[in-house]
Every structure is written in C-alpha cells, then in structure tokens.
Chain A
C-alpha cells in the first residue's frame, strides 16, 4: 500500500509492505503526521516555525522544541566534523540571491562558523547575524521520523521517499533508480535498510527544482553535477550530498566515507540485462 501527499515543499510517498490493511493505514497516517511536525518546526519559509523564530531573533535566546534542538545539534556537529563542507549557516547567501525569504530585517552574514550557533538545554541563540538553513538535512530527518513511526506500528517493511530523499526498511528493500539532470534514468542497485539522497548542482535556475547548493562560504558552485550518497539514516545521506557537491571530484568519495556515508558512482543505464 502506498500514499503520496504534498509535504516539505515536495511530494512525499509512504509505502508499507506486510501487516494488516488497518495497521498499514494507521502507520501511514502517523508517519505523515510525524513528517508534518518536522515541517511545522523547521520550515525556513515559515516565520513562526522554530527555525523562523531563531532566524528572526536578532541574537536573543529562543525557546525551541526538543526535536528542533536535536536537528540543530546534528547539523552543527556535522559542520564541525566536515570542516564546514556541510554548512547550515549559509542561509544568508541564499537570502541574498532570493532563493530563501528574508526573515531578519537587519544585515545578515552570507555564511557563519559553528560558534555562531549556541545551543542550550531547551533554547538556542545566534551570536552573529547569520541565518540558519536546515534545507540540507531537515528533509532527510523528516524521512527518519516517518520510518520510526512505521516501525512503531510494527509494519514489517516499507519506504518513505520525500522528493528523492528516501529510506527503506524491512527484508525486501526496493530497486533504486536515479534521475539525472537531463531527465534520463539510471539504475543504482537494490536498496535495503538504508537511505539514499541525491542532490543536483544546476548551472541554470529551474523553477521545478528550486533547491540550491552553495559552497561553505556562500558562493555559487561552478559547473553541474548529480551526487548520490548512501547512509544508514536519511538525515545523514541528505547532508552528505552537500559535502559531495562542494568537494573536488578526486576527494569526494573519501570525504563522504570519513563522515559515515558512501558516495555512489554514476548509475548504470536502466538497460541492466539478466546474467
């Protein structure tokens, strides 16, 4: 059984394999609700979300939901461990280019350093006028929260695909394909109990695919490319595609592996023949 709904600015598909129909329906509903909760807390576009309030705070302490703090911790730690190849504080540069809305009235810095984000027990504050963007991690985190729900309802297997960030669990897994920037589709393999995320660096704006990756200092990345990463959790796969995108080609696989993921090579064309 599968369902598709608009969420997180994209289309989110939830699939359940095994279990009773009622179990699947309840699990699915609960998983969508968990994903909607992540959206409610962490949407950059919503000035009343936890993220919106933090970005508008002008340096004051802002009380935050434990879930929001968990994601901020994950983001900041990955920023430190990746030498800022993953940078959740480049919101300012995306505001400057119009890719994200302007929430803070004063001047904002195009990028920041981990020390700019101070995290307390149940609150956080910005020590300089940076803008936090969790675009590179929140979608994956939402997928993980959804999978947690499906498991909690004891669904034996399934998947969640949030606009191309996906995770599967259970014995079967699923065939994994990748969409290239050209629209061509290639086969990556069969995915089991793992997450896969793909990011595309585009040379020209495309309204259908509004996401944008910039380098750690907030500058546009040259050239194009499609990068896929495998990880145990969707939040990490999502985040590591950004690390892959900003790393030079010869260092990509190593950079991703050092942080717990696997950089996937070019997919095979879909005409995979039987042995």
Chain B
C-alpha cells in the first residue's frame, strides 16, 4: 500500500504554464450570507450595535483575559417569530501579518453556535510577493500576450495558528455576558 504508484505520480503535479495570481487574500461570505449560514432558522437579524463603556471593557478583559480594543461592536439579534434565538457578532483578528474578519453566532445562553470567516488577508512577505508580481509585467507592452489562470491557487506551507481567533471568540462570549440583554 505504501509503494510508489508512478502513473498516479505523473498526473498529480503538472507544470504551471500560465501566470498565477499570488495567494493571500480571499473573501468568503458577506455578513448577510454569514448570518444565514450561522443561524439558518432565523427570519430576521435586528441590528444591535454596541458602544461599550470603559467599565464594560474592563469587565470583558477580566472575564476573557484579552483586551476589548474597540468601544464599538457590531451585533445583530437573531429572531424567529419574534423570539430571540441567538446573536451574531462581527469581529476582526488583527495580527502582525494577517487581517481576518469573522462572525460568531452565540445562543441566548452563551454557547457558540458557529464561526464563519468572511474575509482573510495575509500580508506576510507581501513586499516580496508584490515585487515579484510587479516584475512580471516589467517591460511588457500591450502586444505581449499573457494569460492569467483564473483558478484560485492553493497555498501550502507551515501551519498558521488560529489562536488569535479563538481568543477573539472567548472575548465575544465575555462581551455577551457583560453587554448584551439577557432576555
């Protein structure tokens, strides 16, 4: 079972003959789409934007261990036939090299119903990547043919930790406890 299978191997990886756009940026869902995926049985999502007080932010830090950096927090109350069945919160993970916008759905009792990433931006090595990409076009005129592969490339590499996002979710659970109505 572990012997090499040469026929398979020859087909598995073929040379790229067209330009590929660099990876590192992707959009997955709009907020409306994310809401529908996270709380599919809701019939309305009522905007419930929050402006947190200093005391509330302190309480969140105490509960979750991470700082609530912004006073503003976007949230929606998910209702089905008038009843509150959950909350959807929009948040960002801002790392040194990544910027991720995501939505969390929480049950009224404070359980995570789901997490969906709306957009993902990675900037690590961006300078190198952008310079290399720009260099492709140097010297090309309008007569030069080039074809861009429309397929989105997949990126293989060392595993990026999602710990920042997990901490974000913990923080939003604390925020729910501190700042969202309990009804």
Contact = CB atoms under 8 A, between A and B. Distances in A.
Interface of A: 2-7, 9-11, 13, 15, 78, 81, 139, 159, 161-166, 168, 172, 174-185, 187-194, 196-200, 202, 207-211, 226, 228, 230, 232, 236, 257, 259-262, 264, 268-275
A211 B159 contact: yes
B12 A192 contact: yes
Given A2-B28, A209-B161, A182 B16 contact: no
B37 to A, nearest CB: 8
Contacts of B3: 260
A174 B150 CA distance: 10
Nearest to A261: B4
A198 B161 CA distance: 15
Contacts of B132: 184-185, 269-271
Given A183-B128, A189-B13, 9 more contacts: A3-B116, A4-B116, A161-B154, A165-B159, A175-B152, A177-B156, A184-B128, A259-B2, A271-B136
Contact of B160 (A163, A188, A202): A163
B124 interface: yes
B32 interface: no
Contact of A208 (B13, B96, B133): B96
Contacts of A271: 19, 132-133, 135-136
24 contacts: A6-B166, A161-B155, A163-B159, A172-B151, A174-B153, A175-B20, A176-B156, A177-B22, A179-B157, A182-B125, A182-B128, A185-B125, A189-B14, A191-B13, A194-B8, A196-B156, A209-B158, A211-B158, A232-B8, A261-B4, A268-B16, A270-B133, A273-B136, A274-B19
Contacts of B23: 177, 185
A257 B161 CA distance: 30
Contact of B13 (A4, A6, A194): A194
B70 interface: no
A272 B135 contact: no
Nearest to A206: B158
Chain A contact residues: helix, strand, loop or mixed:
strand
B83 interface: no
A3 B5 contact: no
Contact of A177 (B8, B15, B153, B161): B153
B146 A274 contact: yes
Interface string B140-183: 00000111010111111111111101100000000000000000
Contacts of A164: 155-160
Contacts of B115: 5-6
